Each structure stands twice: as C-alpha cells, then as structure tokens.
C-alpha cells in the first residue's frame, strides 16, 4: 500500500545522482559557458562600439580641421590676390602700359624693389593687354603668355598663378601676374596641424600639394575619400578653383585604441571571474541543506513512514520546501483511504465496460457468423427450389415451390441486411474512392423504379439539377445503396400520388472547402402515410419501423434506414427527415464529394474501342460458348463493334454452324458440353469451309502451356477469360488481318523463334495474362475486382451489365447447388466441369475470389480431403460474391427493407 504511493518518487529517488546534473554541473556546463558567451559578446560589442566611436570622432575632427585649413588657404590666397590687386590699381603700372617708350625709367626700379608676400621666391609680372610681359621682378623666370582677362587663380603641381587685370577707363589694358613655383608650396600651404595630413586638389581633381605622398602624390588624380585606414574631409573653394582636404590615418588612432581594448578585456574578464566565484560560493551555501532535505525525504520514502517529520533547516526557501513536505505528508495521511476506494471503483467500472463492449462485439460477430451460417443452407434451398421450378410441376406444386422460393428470397434479403448492418457496426465497411458520373449513377438507380412506380400507379419524378458532366469521387456503390433504399422505401410506402428524387448542388459552407469540393443534396419526397413526430426520432435506429404494420404490409427488416443513416454518416454526410401524417415524408441526404480531376473524368468517358475498331471491317462472328454470361458478354461486345453474332452452346453446334459458311470468324470456348472447343476446331479445320477461318480460343486458363495445346489444335489465337474490351478488339483485329491475308494459320506464317516456347500470336499477351493472374491472386482476399466490373460497365453500359449481374447471380447460385450435388456424389468430372464453368462465368463478372476457389476445387477434384476443406469456403465465398454483385447491381428486385 505505501509503496504504491510513491511509485514515481521511488523511481526518481534513484535517478538524480546518476543521470541528473548537479547544481555544480549546471554551473560548469551552463552558467560558465553562458558567461563566456556573454563576455565575448560584450567585449566584441564594446570594442566594435569603441572603434566606431573613435572613427566617427576622428572624422568629425578631421572635418573641423579640414574646414579650418580650407579657411587658412583661402585667406592665404586672398592675401596674394590682394597684393596683385593693389599692384594692378597702381597708376605707375597703368602709366607704364601707356608710356611704353619711357617706362624703363621707372618700372624696373619699382619691380626690382617688389617683395611678394609669403615667399621672396614669388614672381610678379606686368603684362600688356595681350599678356606679353612688359616687366617682372628680379626673381622671375620667363613666363609663357598669360592674357589678362578677369581675375583668375590657377594652380597645378608646378605653380600657382594669380592674374589680376589692369583696368583703364573701364577696359582691360594689361595685367599683373603673380606666380609661385611648387618649391614655395610648403611655405604657402604647409599644414599647420600636427598629426594631420593636408592636401590641395585642382579643379580637374589632380593632387597639387600633399603633405603625405603615400596618401596622395602630386600630379596624380586625387584619391577617393573612402580609402581604408584613413579619413579625409574635403572642402571646395569655389572662388579659387581648388579643393582643400585634411586627412588623418585611422590606424594611428586605433593604435591608442588597442590599449583601451586591453583594459576593457581585463575589466570584463575580472567581472566574469568574480561572478563565477560568487556563483560557486552560493551553490556551496545552497547545496548542502538541499542534500540534507533530499536525504531525509528519501528516508521517509524508504521507511514508508508518513509520521516522520523533516527537520526545518537551511536557507528560507529550503526550509519552506521541508515545511511544505511535512504538510503534504499530513494531508496524504488524511486522504489516502478514500483514494484507494476510488481506484477500486474505477477498476470495476472499466471492467464492466470492457465486458459490455466484448458482449456487443460478440453480438456483431454472432450476427455475422449466423448470417453466414443461415445463408449457406438457405442458398442451397433456394438453388434447388429454382431448379425445381424448371421441372415439370403441377399448378399446385408450382405455387408451393414459388412460395418457398419467394419466402426464401425474403429470408435471404433479411439476412443480407442484417449482415450489412453488422458489418457497418463492426467497422467492416471501407469506402471506395472512385470517380463516377453522378448523372449516370442517378439514371441507373432510378430507371428500374419507373416500372415499379408504374405498376403501383405512382408518378415518379426524378429531377437531376446538377451538370450532366459532373464527375465526382467517392463510393458510388454506397451512394447507390443509400438512394436505392430511400427510393424503394418511398415507393413501397406510398399508396397513391408521387415520389420525387431531386438532386441539387449546394454552396459549400464558408468557402472553406476547396473549389474541388462539391456539396450535393439528394431530396427524396413521397406522398405516403407519413411518420408521426414521436416516431420520427427512432426511424434511423436499427429494427425500427414507423409502424409495425408496415413490416407486415410491405415486408422488410427495418434495417434499411439504419443502413442508410450509417452509410451517410460513414460518407461524412448528413440525413434529415421531415414528415407529416397522411401528407408524406421528405428525406434530405447531403453529401460532400471531391470533384474528379480532369484526367479521371476523361478516363471515365474514354472508350478504348475507337483505337482498334476502325481497323476491323464488319464480320459475322460465330460464338461457341455454353455459358450464358460469357456468351452474352461476347455477343454484346461484338454487336457493339458492329459485327453480326450467332451463339451456339457447344462444339457440335459450332461445327455445324461453321459448315454453313456464314461465319467469318469463330470465338471458340474450350470447355463445352457435347464437344469441346479443341475437338470442334480440329473438325472445322479439316473441312473445306473452315480451312482458313480465323478461330480464336476462349479459355479461363491463363497458363501458356495450355494455350500452346489450343493453338496446336488449329486455333489462330487464344484469349484468356475474363478479357477486356481492348484485349478482345486486339485479338479480333489480328484475326481480321489474318482473314484479309488469306493465311490459314497464323503460326505457320510466323513461326516461333524457340520451339519450346508456346506458339501464340503475341508473347506479350501471355505475359499480360500471367499478370492478370497475378493481380487476381493478390486480390484473392477481396471478393471481386471492382475495376474489372467498372470497365465492363463502361464498355457494355450499365443496363447490360445489370442484366449480366442478375444472370451471374442466378448462374452462380445454380452452380453452387450443382457443385454441392457433385461434391456430395463425389463425381469428379462433374466437379471439374462445374468448377470450370464457375471460373468461366464468374470470372467474366470480376468475381476473383470465387474464381480462385473454383480453380482450387478444380485442381483438387481427385483429393477428397482437400475438397472437404475447400467446400467449407464455397457458400461464404459465393454469398460474398453475390453480395458484391448486388452491391454493384442497380436492379435488385429481391432487395427489401
């Protein structure tokens, strides 16, 4: 009892030391790495900020110095210009221009005494109106002509030249030119601020003067202001056609920064160390009392002693934990008994629930099993009764037999419904997701009811308001079952008036579903007796009918609406019912479907016929086939292709018919009563008329060895049943070619490469057949191949397939009865014959499971032990097959609710 109180605790109690990380561990693995990461961020962030700050400061400082230097240069140049202007305004010089013949008496003395500003190396020239030099100071080198125009200043790496015009009476009559060579630039422009470089650029962006030839070399284009490692700020002197820039190296500034960064690093590192030390100290303080606490708690656990009390010690938070634990043990003591009671109660309840569920499952299983068990003998009864109806009976006997048949069929219908219901309840129904055309489906469902309605004098109105081309994806079989049940109910219940089926498309809610979602409402309305409102709630419950008299009057199991309801729910739809006594009932079934993709729609529509058919001229084809279904399928296809068809039931009749010369081609079943196909072929080939007629063998045997035997008997080709429309077409077309060419035997005109290989027209057909066989084997767990039946329906049309299905059901039933009889009499040849005919007939209708079983029985016909095992499967498989066909069948006149 106590042990169970601490199941977790006892687990955890052993774990922490080994798997959990201790507080020190946390400190070492989490806090310290985190600290180092934060430290790295702070340090790199800090040094990044510092660098940015220093660079910006430097930039600003350089800018300030640049502006100041620019001002200094401007002042310097202004001083020089003023000097030149003063000279130009001197009337001695003006006079000198006019007094060309005698100015030598005063101009030389004047010019030799001139001391230009800043540097005595400066040169001063007096030029005439065309710039021709009249005189200059003693330092002067020859100067090229400089025409005096407006006042200008020009500078390059060689010299600075300032020109000021001399005006007399408003016009320029000469000029003063002041020139400084590059050797004076240091004196003129030299940078005045230590630590900063200084440059002059001419207006064409040439370096004129530089204090640092590494950064800017005179005579070269000015460097970009954004060169790494230094900062340059440029100021343009508009009046003087030049730019002044100051610059400073960033790296020098950063040198000092490195010391600062080091100090920062030491600071952060110390801070980190102190923090780690503090952490460790506080862990030491905290961890000891925590350990004590854990130790004491585990003692209580180990002793299972809730009366034990923990010592309150250590820091406040830890003593609070201890105190809370003490309170918890107190509370636990008081609540522990009632909790145990609760646990017992819950356990009892869950056991009861399990028992109930098991009981329900047992019921479903029981029902399913029972249905099977009942159906097997019932099928026997029905089969034999059917056979009985074909025998000679007097009127009284016939009536009785028909009553047996009708009662048996009713009983079978009830059992089928019960089986359906129990399957749905047991979750044994899986929905298909196939493309189907809604318009077609509705017409298939509704057309058989027309007769029924006419018989009762009712007006059946079907209004299909959706697009004719609307192709949906879903389970058409289940949908069919739902609509079928509702319609058949409505017709059954309505004595007079009308029944309507109205299909409309609704807007999908809230735009939430994609554009491919279609919401379809099926509205079934009758003018029948109606259902009272108190019973309306129950009609979807199993075994409920609006009025128990209905069962008496109309028959039915009362499962129909329950099945409808369950299937609707299964398909994710809703069903609503409204009814008024003596007015009628309305059902609204609303279902959502995906719209089929374009390819799926196309595939539904496409017909493989055109491809081959156009190559084949209309022929007369003799079909020798004892099996009605196969004969019907073959003739339906042939008629569809535009050929004349004649069916005979056995080889003998085929030989006779061939002799008449009517036929252009023969489809020859192998296994037939009276005379088999191979014998018939041999006889026909021996005759004059049948020498060159194409004969195509039809067989349920897929094995190539057997095909070789058939071909050796004189057949041109062999077609494995069940065949598809394209396969038949292909075979027909090759036969037609044969016909045209006049070659009697295909095998001679196209001998095989290897004698051991079966000599068939096209080896790929065999492979195809084997593949079919393989796919059949794979699908053996399923009752039938829906796809094959879909194809058949597409190729032959729903009406004919409905016929075929009806016939198939009948045939299978008789065959099952006959097989039972043969098995009972241990008539080996009868077993083989019936089993083979099941393979042929049911195989054509896609019933793979029964075909497989029949094949097994055929193979094991001589082995009574094995036959015994196989017989057990016969009835359930046949039932499942018939059920599957019925589900596919739009005409189920024996289906009742």
Partner 1 sequence: MTTVGNSFMKAPMHLSLGLMSLLAIFLSNAVSAASPPLILGLDADMSSGSAKAGVAIRRGAEIAIDEINTRGGVLNRTLKLIVRDHRGNPARGVDNIVDFSEMQNLVAVLGGLHTPVALHELKTIHDKKVIYLSPWAAGTPIVENGYAPNFVFRVSVRDQYAGGFLTQKATSRGFRRVALALENTGWGRSNERAMKAGLLAQGLTAVGVSWFHWGRANMSEALNDLQALNPDVILLVANAPEGVAMVKRMAAYTKDRRIPIISHWGITGGQFFQQARDALKAVDFTFLQTFSFLKPPFPDRANRVVNYYLNAYPDVKRADDIFAPTGTAHAYDLVHLLAQAVLQAGTADRDRVRQALENLDEYQGLLKNYAPAFTVERHDALNAGDFRLSRFNNVGVIVPVE
Q: What residue ranges bind partner 1 (CB under 8 A)?
A: 91-92, 94-95, 97-102, 106, 128-130, 132, 168-171, 173-174
Measured from the Cβ of residue 1, the count of other Cβ atoms closer than 10 Å reads 8
Rg, C-alpha atoms of the chain: 56
Determine whether 20 is exposed, middle or buried from the number of CB atoms within 10 Å of its CB (0-12, 13-18, 19+). exposed
Q: Are 494 and 455 in contact (CB under 8 A)?
A: no
CA–CA dist 423, 428 (Å, integer): 5
CA–CA dist 189, 191 (Å, integer): 6
CB of 170 to partner 1, least distance (A): 7
Q: Which is nearer to partner 1, 95 or 157 (CB)?
A: 95
Measured from the Cβ of residue 531, the count of other Cβ atoms closer than 10 Å reads 23
Q: Which is nearer to partner 1, 93 or 562 (CB)?
A: 93
CB of 142 to partner 1, least distance (A): 19
Q: Which is nearer to partner 1, 108 or 380 (CB)?
A: 108
Q: Which is nearer to partner 1, 98 or 359 (CB)?
A: 98
CB of 175 to partner 1, least distance (A): 12
Q: Which is nearer to partner 1, 102 or 859 (CB)?
A: 102
CB of 94 to partner 1, least distance (A): 3
Q: Which is nearer to partner 1, 100 or 303 (CB)?
A: 100
Q: Which is nearer to partner 1, 174 or 584 (CB)?
A: 174
Cα separation values, 729 from 13, 612, 725, 738, 745, Å: 80, 6, 6, 14, 19
Q: Which is nearer to partner 1, 51 or 85 (CB)?
A: 85
ω into residue 533 within 30 of 0, thus cis? no
Q: Which is nearer to partner 1, 126 or 293 (CB)?
A: 126
Q: Which helix (H) or strand (E) holds 102?
A: none
CB of 99 to partner 1, least distance (A): 4
Could you give the strand order of the β-sheet that contains 620-624, starting from the edge strand earlier in sequence?
A: 644-648, 620-624, 665-669, 695-699, 717-720
CA–CA dist 746, 738 (Å, integer): 7
CB of 139 to partner 1, least distance (A): 24
CB of 179 to partner 1, least distance (A): 21
Angle at 191 between CA 190 and CA 197, to 5 degrees: 125
CA–CA dist 764, 504 (Å, integer): 48
Residues near 32 by Cβ (< 8 Å), separated by ≥ 6? Answer: 276
Could you give the strand order of the β-sheet that contains 171-181, starting from the edge strand earlier in sequence?
A: 133-136, 123-128, 171-181, 159-168, 152-155
CB of 157 to partner 1, least distance (A): 33
CB of 161 to partner 1, least distance (A): 21
Q: Which is nearer to partner 1, 171 or 512 (CB)?
A: 171
Determine whether 732 is exposed, middle or buried from the number of CB atoms within 10 Å of its CB (0-12, 13-18, 19+). buried
Distance from the Cα of residue 52 to its chain's centroid: 52
CB of 56 to partner 1, least distance (A): 56
Q: Which is nearer to partner 1, 95 or 832 (CB)?
A: 95
CB of 147 to partner 1, least distance (A): 12
Residues near 688 by Cβ (< 8 Å), separated by ≥ 6? Answer: none
Measured from the Cβ of residue 264, the count of other Cβ atoms closer than 10 Å reads 16
């Amino acid at each position: 009892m106590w042990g169970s109180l601490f199941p977790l605790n006892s687990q955890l109690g052993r774990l922490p030391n080994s798997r959990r990380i201790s507080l020190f561990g946390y400190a070492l693995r989490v806090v310290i790495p985190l600290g180092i990461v934060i430290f790295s961020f702070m340090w790199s962030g800090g040094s990044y900020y510092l660098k940015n700050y220093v660079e910006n400061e430097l930039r600003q400082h350089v800018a300030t110095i640049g502006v100041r230097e620019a001002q200094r240069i401007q002042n310097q140049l202004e001083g020089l210009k003023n000097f030149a202007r003063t000279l130009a305004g001197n009337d001695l010089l003006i006079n000198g221009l006019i007094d060309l013949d005698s100015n030598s008496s005063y101009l030389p003395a004047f010019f030799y005494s001139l001391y230009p500003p800043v540097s005595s190396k400066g040169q001063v020239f007096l030029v005439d109106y065309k710039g021709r030099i009249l005189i200059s100071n003693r330092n002067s080198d020859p100067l090229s002509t400089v025409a005096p125009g407006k006042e200008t200043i020009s500078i390059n790496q060689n010299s600075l030249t300032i020109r000021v015009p001399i005006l007399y009476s408003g016009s320029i009559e000469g000029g003063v030119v002041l020139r400084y060579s590059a050797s004076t630039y240091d004196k003129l422009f030299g940078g005045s601020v230590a630590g900063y470089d200084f440059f002059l650029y001419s207006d064409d962006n040439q370096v004129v003067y530089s204090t640092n030839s590494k950064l800017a070399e005179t005579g070269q284009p000015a460097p970009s202001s954004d060169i790494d490692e230094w900062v340059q700020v440029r100021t343009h002197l508009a009046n003087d056609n030049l730019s002044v820039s100051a610059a400073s190296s960033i790296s020098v500034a950063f040198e000092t920064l490195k010391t600062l960064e080091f100090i920062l690093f030491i600071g952060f590192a110390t801070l980190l160390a102190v923090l780690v030390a503090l952490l460790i100290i506080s862990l030491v303080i905290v961890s000891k009392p925590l350990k004590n606490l854990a130790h004491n708690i585990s003692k209580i656990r180990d002793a299972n002693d809730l009366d034990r009390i923990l010592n309150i010690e250590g820091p406040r938070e830890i003593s609070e934990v201890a105190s809370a634990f003490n309170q918890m043990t107190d509370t636990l003591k008081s609540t522990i008994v009632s909790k145990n009671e609760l646990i017992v109660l819950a356990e009892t309840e869950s056991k009861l629930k399990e028992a109930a569920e098991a009981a329900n499952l047992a019921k479903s299983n029981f029902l399913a099993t029972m249905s099977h068990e009942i159906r097997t003998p019932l099928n026997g009864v029905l089969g034999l009764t059917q056979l009985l109806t074909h025998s000679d009976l007097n009127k009284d006997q016939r009536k009785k037999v028909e009553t047996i048949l009708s009662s048996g069929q009713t009983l079978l219908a009830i059992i089928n419904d019960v089986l359906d219901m129990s399957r749905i309840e047991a979750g044994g129904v899986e929905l298909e997701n196939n493309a189907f055309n809604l318009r077609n489906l509705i017409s298939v469902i509704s057309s058989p009811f027309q007769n029924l309605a006419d018989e009762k004098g009712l007006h059946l109105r079907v209004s299909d308001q959706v697009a004719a081309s609307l192709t949906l994806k879903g389970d058409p079989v289940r949908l069919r079952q739902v609509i079928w049940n509702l319609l058949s109910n409505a017709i059954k219940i309505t004595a007079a008036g009308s029944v309507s089926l109205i299909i409309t498309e609704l807007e999908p809610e809230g735009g939430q579903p994609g554009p491919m979602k279609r919401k379809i409402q099926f509205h079934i309305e009758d003018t029948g007796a109606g259902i009272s409102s108190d019973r309306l709630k129950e009609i979807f419950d199993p075994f409920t009918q609006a009025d128990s008299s209905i069962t008496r009057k109309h028959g039915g199991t009362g499962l129909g609406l329950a099945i409808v309801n369950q299937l609707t729910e299964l398909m994710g739809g809703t069903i609503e019912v409204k009814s008024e006594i003596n007015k009628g009932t309305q059902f609204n079934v609303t279902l959502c479907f995906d719209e089929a993709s374009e390819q799926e729609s196309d595939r539904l529509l496409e017909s493989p016929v055109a491809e081959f058919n156009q190559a084949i001229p209309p022929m007369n084809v003799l079909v020798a086939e004892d099996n009605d279904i196969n004969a019907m399928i073959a003739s339906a296809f042939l008629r569809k292709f535009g050929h004349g068809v004649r069916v005979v039931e056995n080889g003998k009749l085929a030989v006779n018919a061939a002799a008449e010369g009517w036929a252009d081609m023969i489809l020859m079943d192998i296994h037939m009563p009276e005379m088999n196909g191979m014998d018939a072929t041999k006889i026909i080939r021996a005759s004059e008329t049948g020498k060159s007629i194409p004969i195509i063998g039809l067989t349920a045997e897929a094995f190539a060895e057997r095909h070789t035997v058939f071909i050796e008997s004189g057949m041109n080709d062999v077609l494995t049943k069940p065949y598809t429309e394209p396969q038949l077409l292909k075979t027909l077309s090759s036969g037609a070619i044969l016909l045209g060419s006049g070659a009697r035997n295909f095998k001679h005109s196209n001998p095989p490469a290897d004698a051991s290989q079966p000599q068939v027209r096209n080896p790929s057909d065999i492979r195809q057949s084997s593949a079919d066989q393989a796919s059949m084997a794979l699908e053996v767990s399923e009752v039938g191949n829906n796809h094959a039946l879909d194809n058949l329906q597409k190729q032959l049309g729903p009406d004919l397939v409905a016929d075929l299905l009806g016939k198939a059901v009948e045939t299978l039933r008789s065959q099952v009865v006959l097989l039972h009889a043969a098995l009972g009499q241990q008539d080996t040849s009868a077993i083989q014959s019936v089993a083979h005919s099941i393979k042929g007939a049911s195989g054509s209708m896609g019933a793979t499971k029964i075909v497989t079983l029949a094949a097994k029985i055929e193979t094991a016909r001589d082995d009574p032990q094995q036959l015994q095992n196989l017989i057990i499967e016969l009835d359930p498989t046949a039932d499942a097959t018939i059920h599957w066909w019925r589900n596919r069948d739009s005409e189920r006149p024996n289906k009742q609710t």
